[in-house]
Structure 1
Amino acid sequence: MSFSPPPPPVFAGENYNIWAVKMKTYLQAHDLWNVLQNDAELPPLRANPTIAQIRQHNEDCAKKYKAMSCLQSGVSDVIFTRIMACDTPKEAWDKLKVEFQGSDKTRQINLRRDFENLRRKDSETIKQYADKIMATVNNIRLLGDDFSDQRVVEKVITTLPEKYE
């Protein structure tokens, strides 16, 4: 059975963290994520290579361009202009991360503050409120912060009105 993944997710400038997770999975599905992580130049072919070695070298060289193509296809034209001068997929990925994610530490602090300040509005259902909490928690977790389910439950319990006790 063959698997044909959908086209790459397109990043238009909003929800960078969600796009980054989807793009990472997309690149992994195409066996290109290692290229992005290992930004090393390929060594030249040694003298008198075999046909298999030449093919392998050519495939390895092409992966860099395939990964770059995926990244370029995965951003809107406005975002593309910011990475079009990048020479490697890693350089493009890092540029997008710095510009749209900012400092992980700063984002963690801001998201934790947002979490602490969340309160249920009278017009919100419990589900809407829980969804809002989980969206914030998932963004915190996307940044690699260990955020326990117990803390989430405590937040819900302590911020609901007394009538829900």
Structure 2
Amino acid sequence: MAASSFGTSSPPVFDGQNYQLWAVKMKTYLRDFDLWEVVETGNGPPPLRANPTVTQLKHYAEESAKKYKSLSIIHAAVTETIFTRIMACDTGKEAWDRSKEEFQGSEKTKQMQVLNLRREYELLKMKESEPVKEYADRLMKIVNQIRLLGEDLPKKRVIKKVLVSLPEKFESKISSLEDSKDLSEISLAELVNSLQVVEQRKAYRLEDINESALLASQKGKA
């Protein structure tokens, strides 16, 4: 179903791919409209007391309407193909739970996904010719997939993973970093920037060597 506009922005659209990413974005979007709680719990407002005031009646009507407003937003946040799978749902919670069950899978499926990602994470190493930034991006893609599935992967553990999976050419830089600061407190961006300095120096050195070799070759021909 094509997305329509709610307030100043349209909801993120789910097409059947990358459910976890869409779910995170959608939760934030629903919270912005104070609708996530009703989607998560399905609870409506408490019953009105006897002889309610006009203000209380208005508030009760607004709170009661949230389960339908949330459904409307979820309808607008999926493609036509996905909409046909949730069109029979009467509330936002029903639509959310059905989508989650189908596209995230059971708890067992989720745990298998986490297990496979953790195995991939543990085996990951930086290639000799690979730029540090590209390796960090590869690593963080896996880390974020694990975190999206609800598994904790602390920053310190990610930093340690980077340090033990780097090629030998970075050993001296790592040693100097260890001497100057606590590596358990360094950020990934700071570590990558420090390692990129090593890359740049090696690139400049190689460039100078190649230029000297070229000049020597030309001189020899002359």
Deviation of 1:53 after TM superposition, in Å, equals: 2.4
Relative contact order, higher structure (CA 8 A, sep 6+): 1
**Residue 112 of structure 2 corresponds to which residue in structure 1?**
106
Distance 1:27 1:126, change over 3 A: same
Distance 1:124 1:78, change over 3 A: farther
Query: Quick check: 2:39–2:93 contact (8 Å CA) kept in 1?
Result: yes
SS of residue paired to 1:24: helix
TM-score, normalized by length of structure 2? 0.66
Q: Percent identity?
A: 54
**Residue 156 of structure 2 corresponds to which residue in structure 1?**
150
**Residue 7 of structure 1 corresponds to which residue in structure 2?**
10
Code of the residue aligned with 1:35 in structure 2: it is V
**Residue 81 of structure 2 corresponds to which residue in structure 1?**
78
**Residue 63 of structure 1 corresponds to which residue in structure 2?**
66
Gaps of 5+ in 2: 1-6, 172-222
SS of residue paired to 1:26: helix
Deviates more, 1:114-123 or 1:90-99: 114-123
1:85-124 alignment to 2 at 5 Å?
85-102=88-105, 103=107, 104-121=110-127, 124=130
2:168 paired with 1:162: yes
**Residue 31 of structure 1 corresponds to which residue in structure 2?**
34
Gaps of 5+ in 1: none
Code of the residue aligned with 1:161 in structure 2: it is P
Code of the residue aligned with 2:142 in structure 1: it is T
Which structure would you say has the larger Rg? 2
Query: Quick check: 1:35–1:63 contact (8 Å CA) kept in 2?
Result: yes
**Residue 133 of structure 1 corresponds to which residue in structure 2?**
139
Q: What is the Cα-based RMSD across aligned positions, in Å?
A: 2.0
TM-score, normalized by length of structure 1? 0.86
Code of the residue aligned with 2:99 in structure 1: it is L
